[in-house]
Amino acid sequence: MNEFLRFKYFLHYQWRAKSKYYLHSPFVYQFYLNVLEGSDDEQLRRIHLLRKELCHDNSKVQIKDLGTGGATTKTISAIESKVAVRNKYGHLLYRLVSYFKPENILELGTSIGLSSIYLAVGNKSATVTSIEGSGSLIEVAKRNYAAIDINNITNLEGDFDEVLPRFLKTQPQLGLVFFDGNHKKEATLRYFQLCIEKANPETIFIFDDIYWSREMIEAWMEIKNHPQITLALDVFQFGICFFRKEKLAKEEFVLRY
């Protein structure tokens, strides 16, 4: 999608987005106070320092392109600045995990491991499993985990289409899933359908880049209207879904963040 259209969507988001003063749902109000406006702690400073180093690292990584079977080369600094989750949204992942404390976290799309670090630091007793198709990126991710002493992340290498169904067979339930891999509509909906089989009322799904393309906007529309999703929150970069059963009617909020 071109920048102009994205900007238009962003203005539309800003116009619709509500602050905490307009929220009548107690659950969403608490979410706003504790997650969107929650405080950051010392642990995030270490991630910040790691990112500062990575943004000056011009060493190159060969990345396997799962679509073509070929490879592209990128510097670590370019991946840090253009591919990895931005700091602001990394903090949001961290606060989501530290507030809701999911035990079993799954990520689709590791890259150099920055989002998995925010997830893992949010609850050090959780198990984070992160799937990535490119082995060379996993190597870099593992170095980053070691640099800040993170040891609750397991990496699985391979195409989501092969690894995800295999992984899900071994899992009774999923606590939180961060979908940040293949941003095509059909693939996003397919991974959603697979993961929903392991969702329970406490599960949280987070979709990255819901306004990245027309396909992603359409995927988000379908996801948030799925009958099992009882609450959908739109913070522009992320769409966040809840399956909570205490809610009588489906709710949807666009929240200012």
Ligand X SMILES: C[S@@+](CC[C@H](N)C(=O)[O-])C[C@H]1O[C@@H](n2cnc3c(N)ncnc32)[C@H](O)[C@@H]1O
Shortest Å, Cβ 189 to ligand X: 14
Task: Assess contact for 221 and 232: CB atoms under 8 A.
Answer: no
Report helix angle 185-196 to 214-224, nearest 10: 20
Amino acid identity at 175: G
Q: 137 vs 196, which CB is nearer to ligand X? A: 137
Report helix angle 114-122 to 87-100, nearest 10: 30
Element spanning 73, H or E: strand 71-75
Q: 71 vs 221, which CB is nearer to ligand X? A: 71
Q: 180 vs 231, which CB is nearer to ligand X? A: 180
Q: 102 vs 133, which CB is nearer to ligand X? A: 133
Shortest Å, Cβ 78 to ligand X: 12
Q: How many CB atoms lie within 10 A of CB 193?
A: 11
Shortest Å, Cβ 45 to ligand X: 18
CA dihedral 10, 36, 164, 75 (to 10 degrees): 70
Shortest Å, Cβ 132 to ligand X: 5
Residue 247 φ then ψ, to 5°? -85, 135
Per the listing, tokens 């490879």 go with 71
Q: 98 vs 134, which CB is nearer to ligand X? A: 134
* Coil, strand or helix at 59: coil
Question: Can you tell me the distance from the alpha carbon of 81 to that of 83, in angstroms, rounded to the nearest whole number?
Answer: 6
Shortest Å, Cβ 23 to ligand X: 28
Tell me which residues touch ligand X (CB under 6 A): 66, 83-85, 109, 111, 114-115, 131-134, 137, 159-160, 180-182
Question: Can you tell me the distance from the alpha carbon of 121 to that of 1, in angstroms, rounded to the nearest whole number?
Answer: 33
Q: 115 vs 230, which CB is nearer to ligand X? A: 115
Short-list 176, 113, 106, 120, CA closest to 151 = 120
Shortest Å, Cβ 52 to ligand X: 16
Shortest Å, Cβ 111 to ligand X: 4
Residue 199 φ then ψ, to 5°? -90, 150
Query: Which residues, at least 6 apart from 21, have a Cβ–Cβ distance to it below 8 Å?
Result: none
Q: 207 vs 243, which CB is nearer to ligand X? A: 207
